[in-house]
Amino acid sequence: MKNNRDNFAAMIGRFKGDGPYLHDGDRVMIDAASGTFNLPFGYTHPRLINKLKEQIERCAHLSSAYTKPMAENILLQLQPYLPTGINRIWLRDVSGSGAVEGAIRMAQKYTGRSGVISLFASHHGQSLATATISGNAFRLANFSTHIEGSFKIPTPGSVLAGAADADGATANVIDELEDFFCYGSSGNVACLIMEPIQGNGGNVVLPVGFYRQIREFCTRHDIVLIADEVQTGFGRTGTFFASTGYANALEPDIIVFAKGAGGVGIPTGGILMKEKLDVLAAYEHSNTSGANPLSLTALHETIAIIEDERLLENVQHHEAYLRDALLDLQEKHPLISGVRGLGYMFGFDTPSPAIAAQAIDLAAQQGLIIRGSRYGKGSAIKVRPPLTCTRPHLDDIIQKLDRTFTELERADHPLQEAI
């Protein structure tokens, strides 16, 4: 037993964060994936950590009977960053999956309908319902559940393929969406959910015209439009939410957030919605640890730090630098193509999932953490540094990426036989 305890201490004690850096024993890596895309400040941030320590010494749990005013306080903090008309919060989740489910429930109760429209290659969570509506069939191979009236639509094809005629592809998808809705569904649709930029699907940046047409479709058919900003929220794309920046044409009825909202990885998740969608009774969607004092503290302080450290400006200021540096790598390396992204949310393609996996391993050996897509089944690689990163950090990331791909492309690299 004692051995087991010592083992655990050694296992977890091996890791230590320091801003964007992760120490794994003697190895130091810069994390260009911000953990699981949930560390806008990297692994540590002294101001936030101190607030968390103070709070854990007071209490780590309060029942929801006490926390509602604090949730309202956070809504006030967020209000300047919300699209017009979104003025309510539901803060009873500790994960993105939970918050997405809550948003679907709101749409179902409000419309009296059931179905969810979602996109190919989308990712909305881990629970049965959110996995079902996500656009990756392989995740459902061994499980079954169905939300009556739901269907999925293609993500504009040329965008997934990284090709040119995005507007043409968008028009086709919208026509097909009308057809699916009119001929291929019972009309029993409550909501359409989409990520403004598909994260797990491969950092898929959709054309602005697509957002506008989706908005028009939802208005035409009185369907609730949910922006899943679990990845894009809290500054990732250079505005607080993508729905008030690049994707403002979406004009969502509901925004779901999680991941980065906890600053240094404290689990939290929430729903922001129009007043008319504030329809749930507490017993219809709640979790024991939703809005616990640690996640409330993390949320409150994360918003304040983003403001005080002018992190949105930091991301906006460095966006072009990061994009140009990645485009330079694309020029130099035949294994890199399709550089795309916004803010600190970039991605590019490699020729295959196997090459992406090799690149991720080699990068780790160079002291760089990057992540792949679609649970290793995609060929994209994502570069999403913490929002606190400045130019020297970006240079470090780019140099390590350069070394990684130089190594991969070496004539005598074992992978060359497979290419």
Q: Which is nearer to ligand PLP, 200 or 350 (CB)?
A: 200
Q: Which is nearer to ligand PLP, 126 or 185 (CB)?
A: 126
The nearest distance, CB 13 to ligand PLP, in angstroms, is 26
Out of 45, 124, 318, 393, point to the residue binding ligand PLP (CB under 6 A): 124
Q: Which is nearer to ligand PLP, 92 or 393 (CB)?
A: 92
Site string for ligand PLP, 165-204 (x = CB under 6 A): ------------------------------x---xx----
Please give the single-letter amino acid code of residue 200.
N
Out of 51, 105, 123, 400, point to the residue binding ligand PLP (CB under 6 A): 123
| Interaction of residue 274 with ligand PLP, rule CB under 6 A | no
The nearest distance, CB 8 to ligand PLP, in angstroms, is 24
Q: Which is nearer to ligand PLP, 153 or 398 (CB)?
A: 153
Selected range binding ligand PLP among 96-104, 276-284, 372-380, 383-391, rule: CB under 6 A: 96-104
The nearest distance, CB 341 to ligand PLP, in angstroms, is 15
| Interaction of residue 290 with ligand PLP, rule CB under 6 A | no
CB 43 within 8 A of CB 29: no
Site for ligand PLP in 125-154 (CB under 6 A): 125-126
Nearest to 203 by CA among 400, 337, 362: 337
The nearest distance, CB 111 to ligand PLP, in angstroms, is 21
Nearest to 81 by CA among 224, 240, 307, 242: 240
Site for ligand PLP in 215-234 (CB under 6 A): 228, 230-231
| Interaction of residue 100 with ligand PLP, rule CB under 6 A | yes
| Interaction of residue 92 with ligand PLP, rule CB under 6 A | no
Nearest residue to ligand PLP, by Cβ distance, number only? 96
| Interaction of residue 91 with ligand PLP, rule CB under 6 A | no
The nearest distance, CB 298 to ligand PLP, in angstroms, is 14
The nearest distance, CB 98 to ligand PLP, in angstroms, is 7
Q: Which is nearer to ligand PLP, 97 or 379 (CB)?
A: 97
The residues binding ligand PLP (CB under 6 A) are: 95-97, 100, 123-126, 195, 199-200, 228, 230-231, 258
